[in-house]
Amino acid sequence: MIERFILVCSGFQCVGAGFQTGVPEALSSFIGVAESNGIESIYALFSGGRDSLVSLHLSRRVSEILKIGLKALHVDTTVSTPGNLEYVQEICSDLHVELTVLRPEHDFFSLVGRWGFPTATRRWCCYHLKIEPLRKFFEKVDTSRALVVDGIRAEESWRRRSFPKLGYHRHFKCLNYHPILEWTGQEVLKYIEAHGLRENPLYRKLPRVAECWCTAFKTAKQFTVLKEEWPELFERFLRAEANLKTGGSALFRNGKRIYLRDL
């Protein structure tokens, strides 16, 4: 492993200052996981955000070093910020990574018509819009020597702090690895800068690129931005809210309804 580690650093220009001392360590750990588990295929989940961009780039480096397969998977939730899918396609083309775009069986607004808008306590969107399309994809491929890689970071939530770095995904039925689990947001930014990666231009308007405008954790302020920047998508939310038979609202915070029509 030490010899391979030296090859990694010399072949991919690892810099040795500041936080960068952790980058060869992350790469070495990634390689170790792939080798020790006989991995032949890496599936990198790429949402279009910074974290998944770094995870995809690390995956590409590992796949080239070990000469194993790599495919990027992007789930089009049917309610992502306009321009996000195009960015995902461009990055995968730039990195010469094969991309598969998956979509749910039913779009977001059709499901809202059935069940109402998702809330923090009734978050149906995550499974039906994201997990289920991926689960169906992995049902059709051999996952015995596959590794699913994502950009999850422990810093993002208390729940993610309890995640093992390498585990078995109960929905995808294969190993799941979080290569940047311990990284800070600042380390992610420095990696992007150090490797000249092109981050999503949507960050100029949003704190997160929002590959899914699920209302469970969105705020009125965020929907105000949506109204100003992408009025056509906002109008779809307005129509869905108006069509709710219960007279419900798209947003619900601290026991109070927040109607998009009032923004």
Domains (range + CATH), the chain: 2-206 (3.40.50.620), 218-263 (no CATH)
**pLDDT value, residue 22:** 57
pLDDT digits (tens, 9 = 90+) for 168-208: 999 999 999 999 999 999 999 999 999 999 999 999 999 88
Phi, psi of 36 (to 5 degrees): -70, -20
Element (DSSP H or E) covering residue 102: strand 98-102
**pLDDT value, residue 159:** 82
pLDDT digits (tens, 9 = 90+) for 107-137: 999 999 999 999 888 899 999 999 999 999 9
In this structure, the number of other CB atoms found within 10 A of the CB of residue 37 comes to 14
**pLDDT value, residue 220:** 94
75, 14 contact by CB (below 8 A) = no
Question: Which residue's entry shows tokens 């979080």?
Answer: 178
Taking 50 as the pLDDT cut, the residues of the chain under it are 1-21
